[in-house]
Amino acid sequence: MSAVTAERPITTTPETHVLGQLDALESEAILIIREIVGELERPVLLFSGGKDSVVMLHLAAKAFWPAPIPFPVLHVDTGHNFPELLDYRDETVERLGLRLEVARVQDYLDDGRLRERADGLRNALQTVPLLDAINEHRFDGVFGGARRDEEKARAKERIVSLRDEFGQWDPKNQRPELWNLFNPRHRPGEHVRAFPISNWTELDVWKYIEREDIPLAPLYYAHEREVFNRDGMWLAVGPYSQPRDDEPVETRLVRYRTVGDMSCTGAVESPARSNAEIVVEVAASTLTERGATRADDRISEAAMEDRKKEGYF
Amino acid sequence: MNPTTNLLSPALDTGSSPALATGTLLRLATAGSVDDGKSTLVGRLLHDTKSVLSDQLAAVERVSRDRGLTGADLALLTDGLRAEREQGITIDVAYRYFATATRSFVLADCPGHVQYTRNTVTGSSTADVVVLLIDARKGVLEQTRRHLAVTALLRVPHVVVAVNKIDLVDFDEDVFDRVNAEVQSVARELGVVDATAIPVSALDGDNVAERSPRTPWYSGPSLLEFLEALPPAVDPVHEAFRLPVQLVIRPQGAALDVAHRDYRGYAGQVASGVVRVGDEVVALPSGRRSTVTGIDLGPQSLDEAFALQSVTLRLADEIDISRGDVIASVADAPEPTQDIAAVVCWLADAPLRPGQRLLLKHGSRTVQSAVRSIDGALNLDDLRAVAAESLPLNDIGLVTLRLASPLPVENYSTSRRGGSFLLIDAHDGRTVAAGMVGATLPTAADAPTRPEGEEEWEI
């Protein structure tokens, strides 16, 4: 009935029953997703349409098959998203029959609850709308696609991570996480974030996307685009990222390794048009995905830690 | 075509790729005292397996330069929190990832400071191998004994001892031999069977990834070679089949396909052993029996499932099974019990006292429990039990617990999964202890009280 049915044997090492790496990571993620659903009342999955959240959704589909995914998805829309990504988000949600909640940064800017930053970047502005949406819907378990290999502060975070009533993460006071026993209990007003793909690397994600034949948004595959070079990154010409006079616009064959806001996500030059070609390219890359493509993460050594403490993803 | 299969179905001609060669996953944890150079060793492993990419290395070099260091301080790769960089110490477990041609590694970098022992317990609980660091100049310290004791207690299958800073003792074979002898003696005392020692310099990379010409007297493998060659920890085929039920999948009218309206499956991760279609199984604690008619992993049907696969089992009979139950092989199913004798690592600030009520989570079930007695605490100096009236933070003790309902617990020495549990503070949800079931007591009989005094027990 689908590509994953029976055609591919579960990878084992000869004669012993030991799970191959991708199967071990998949199983751990499914364990986590099921455990949060079993323990908590109102889970939600953060879904942006980006590759990590797509992998999470795919894992959730497997975890509950043949029943539908038993929770809604939430997207914090900065207003600076790539239109292709929003299209992909909407198509995917509709195909799976999921309920999509959208928290819009633009609404907060319009009525003055938030103000635009001097640099025009909206990534850090997502925290308040995210926390408000969690409170409004009384979500008690929030699935995120963060991976520990992405960033040093994320490398320190538990798979199931408590947030206080203000949504804050306290890195110095984390619960011990023992064996495979996850504990998402919390007091009223608190919630937990759960990161099912914590232990996956970027290469694992791509290998899994390839193995499972998961179609992504077209942005991830090589395409021709009008771009300009800023600080060594190729930024798309668009409503939120306009070249300055000294930044000539060129048409290049590019793709995106990560997809964030148009204003700060850089493309990489690449001819990779398929998942298989991307796996090869990522395996050979000498730059991290964030280093290569995110202007906002280059600012300070503790940028992510500070945002996370305040309740960011 | 139904909605889910769209997500799970091919849309691209992806072909196969050479980079797809996938090995097994090995989980390791580091342990060592403050200043043993643990973060440096981890940084070195990442660096020498080419797991540090050029922008990360450039950042480390820039910060090292700003601090007036001559070379790149590889510890900066792992010390991720502001307070850690400020104090130059590691506060919390950090997880790192590296891979070689044959294996992928998940590394839990555990802090060495004494007040953070709980993090070593955390890292060791999932580890296949612990890498214990010892400063060649200092030899075995109290911290080393404590870490080895925790490793033995948690039954980590392998221990490798990195005798670090061998460059600072002029690569002296005698120093290495002396430290190794000390380690082996403590390891024997603790019942750690397998503790290979390797002379290394994390700073310079000697014997970390590649064998060093500066230790010609050492003929063993480098640390990385050793880790690559480690056999899989346990062969779960020989363990009894257990699956704690996380959820009952029963889509009814919501089924993605009308063909699945009557589907009823029990979802969970196989904790141990192998289960095959046709096997007779028993649900615990009810004791009701049935036969496995199907094993599903998403829409894929399997003939068998084995340890650590997340699957959904279908059974021949509609017996009463819910979240928290354990599905087990019939032959050797454990007897559910309400009385447990266990070793616990106490991880909360306020001490554990007899009479205290706590939640106990075992597998996918959480029940009320009461501490009947504290039967001793482990003295880490001589590794013997002493009498104790309470267990303060970071203490390891023997306790007797009474459960509100029976659980099919197993002895931790035969099953790491079936014998482990958490104690949880019901008020705020904190995890306050890591527990390992020692001996189960008959359900009906009263738990005998242990005599006061210097009773010895092995960990």
| DSSP secondary structure, A232-297, as one string | TEEEEPBTTB---TTS--EEEEEE-SS---TTTBPBEE----SHHHHHHHHHH-SS-HHHHHBSGG
Chain B contact set for A282 (CB, 8 A): 19
Q: What's the whole-number average pLDDT of chain B? A: 84
Q: Is B229 in the A-facing interface, judged by CB distances under 8 Å?
A: no
Is A248 found in the same domain as A117? Answer: no
Residue of B25, B249, B302 with shortest CB distance to A67: B249
Closest residue of chain A to B94, computed from CA coordinates:
A156
Same domain, A42 and A189: yes
* Mean pLDDT along residues B401-423: 94
CB-nearest partner of A276 from B15, B256, B364: B15
Instruction: Look at residue A67 and tell me if it is in a domain.
Output: yes
Domain of residue A280 covers: 219-296
* Domain shared by A114 and A190, yes or no: yes
Residues of chain B with pLDDT > 70, as a percent, come to 84
CA–CA distance from B446 to each of A54, B375, B376, B402, B439 (Å)? Answer: 53, 15, 19, 10, 14
- Give me the pLDDT at residue B86, please: 65
d(CA A277, CA A286): 16
Please check whether residue B8 touches A, CB under 8 A: yes
| Residue B442: predicted pLDDT | 29
Phi (first) and psi of residue B390, to 5 degrees? -155, 165
Taking 70 as the threshold, does the pLDDT of residue B112 lie above it?
A: no
Number of domains in chain A: 2
pLDDT value for B459: 38
A7 occurs within a structural domain: no
Examine the domain organization and report whether A53 and A185 are in the same domain: yes
* Closest Cα in chain B, distance from residue A10 (Å): 9
CATH number for the domain formed by residue range(s) B237-329: 2.40.30.10
Q: Which numeric CATH code is attached to B21-229?
A: 3.40.50.300
Same domain membership, residue A165 and residue A229: no
The pLDDT of residue B84 is 66
Residue of B266, B308, B421 to mutate, interface with A, max A Cβ within 10 Å: B308
Nearest CA in chain B to A280: B19
Confidence (pTM): 0.89
Helix (H, G, I), strand (E, B) or coil at A33: helix
CB atoms A275 and B235 under 8 Å = no
Contact flag B122-A58 (C-beta cutoff 8 Å): no
pLDDT at B183 over 80: yes
Task: Compute the half-sphere exposure of residue A249: CA atoms within 13 Å on the CB side of its CA.
Answer: 11
CATH 3.40.50.300 domain position(s) in chain B: 21-229
The answer to which of A144-153, A159-168, B10-19, B279-288 has the lowest mean pLDDT is B10-19
**A285: in domain:** yes
The Cα B294–Cα B302 span in angstroms is 7
Note the pLDDT of residue B115: 55
Answer yes or no: do A186 and A237 share one domain. Answer: no
Please report the residues numbered 15 through 74 in chain A whose beta carbons come closer than 8 angstroms to any beta carbon of chain B.
16-28, 30-31, 34-35, 37-38, 57-58, 61-68
Most A CBs within 10 A among B13, B14, B28, hence the mutation to make, goes to: B14
* B8, B301, B416 ranked by CB distance to A58: nearest: B8
* B302 touches A: beta carbon within 8 Å: yes
Residue B254 in contact with partner chain A when CB distance is under 8 A: yes
B105, B241, B250, B300, best to mutate vs chain A, most A CBs in 10 Å: B300
Q: Which fold has domain B337-440?
A: Elongation Factor Tu (Ef-tu); domain 3 (2.40.30)
Q: Quick one: pLDDT at residue B74?
A: 72
Q: Which helix (H) or strand (E) holds A74?
A: strand A73-77
Residues of chain B in contact with residue A2, where contact means CB-CB under 8 angstroms, are 4-5, 8-9, 299
Q: A153 at the B interface (CB within 8 A)?
A: yes
Same domain, A65 and A101: yes
Return residues 128-147 of A near B (CB < 8 Å). Answer: none
Q: Does A90 touch chain B (CB under 8 A)?
A: no
* Alpha carbon distance A85, A98 (integer Å): 17
Cβ neighbours of A292 in B, within 8 Å: 55
Question: What region does B12 belong to: left with phi over 0, alpha with psi -120 to 50, or beta?
Answer: beta
Identify which of B278, B283, B322, B326 has the alpha carbon closest to the alpha carbon of residue B302.
B278
Q: How high is the pLDDT of residue B22? A: 57
What CATH code is carried by the domain that includes residue A39?
A: 3.40.50.620
Through-space distance between the first and last CA atoms of chain B, rounded to whole angstroms: 57
Number of Cβ pairs < 8 A linking chain A and chain B: 283
Instruction: State the DSSP code for B206.
Output: B
The residue that leads in pLDDT, A273 or B15, is A273
Judged against a pLDDT cut of 50, whether residue B1 lies above it is answered with no
pLDDT value at B228 more than 80? yes
CA distance B244 to B368: 18
Q: Distance from A200 to chain B by nearest Cα, in Å?
A: 8
Q: Are A201 and A229 members of one domain?
A: no
The residue written with tokens 């616990």 in the block is: B344
Across A71-80, B190-199, B288-297, B362-371, least confident range: B190-199
Q: How long, in residues, is chain A?
A: 313
Identify the pLDDT of residue A302.
65
Is A13 domain-assigned? Answer: no
Q: Are A87 and A43 in a shared domain?
A: yes
Residue B32 pLDDT greater than 50, yes or no:
yes
CB A37 within 8 A of CB A70: yes
Residues A267 and A139 in one domain: no
* Residue from B75, B198, B80 nearest A153 by CA: B80
Examine residue A174 and state whether it is found in any structural domain, yes or no. Answer: yes
Q: For residues B253 and B377, is the Cβ–Cβ distance under 8 A?
A: no
Check CB contact of B312 with chain A, cutoff 8 Å: yes
Q: Give mean pLDDT in consecutive 10-residue pieces for chain A, a chain of 313 residues.
A: 41 62 96 98 96 96 96 94 94 93 93 88 88 95 93 86 92 88 95 97 94 94 92 85 90 90 87 93 78 58 71 76
**Identity of the residue in B91, B309, B417 whose CB atom sits nearest the CB atom of A172:** B91
Is the minimum CB–CB distance between B300 and chain A shorter than 8 Å?
yes
> Which residues of chain B from 61 to 120 reach within 8 Å of chain A, CB to CB?
63, 77-83, 85, 91-97, 99, 104, 106, 118-119
Cβ pair A237, A263 in contact under 8 A: no
Among A8, A10, A34, pick the best mutation site for testing chain B contact (most B Cβ within 10 A).
A34
Chain A CB within 8 Å of residue B422 CB: yes
What is the number of alpha carbons within 13 Å of residue B358 lying toward its C-beta? 28
Cβ-defined contact of B81 to A156 (cutoff 8 Å): yes
Q: Is any Cβ of chain B less than 8 angstroms from the Cβ of A1? A: yes
Mean pLDDT lowest among A68-77, B6-15, B129-138, B229-238: B6-15
CB contact (8 A) between residue A6 and residue B122: no
Look at residue B113 and tell me whether its pLDDT is greater than 80: no
Query: Does the CA dihedral B219-B220-B222-B223 come out positive or negative?
Result: negative
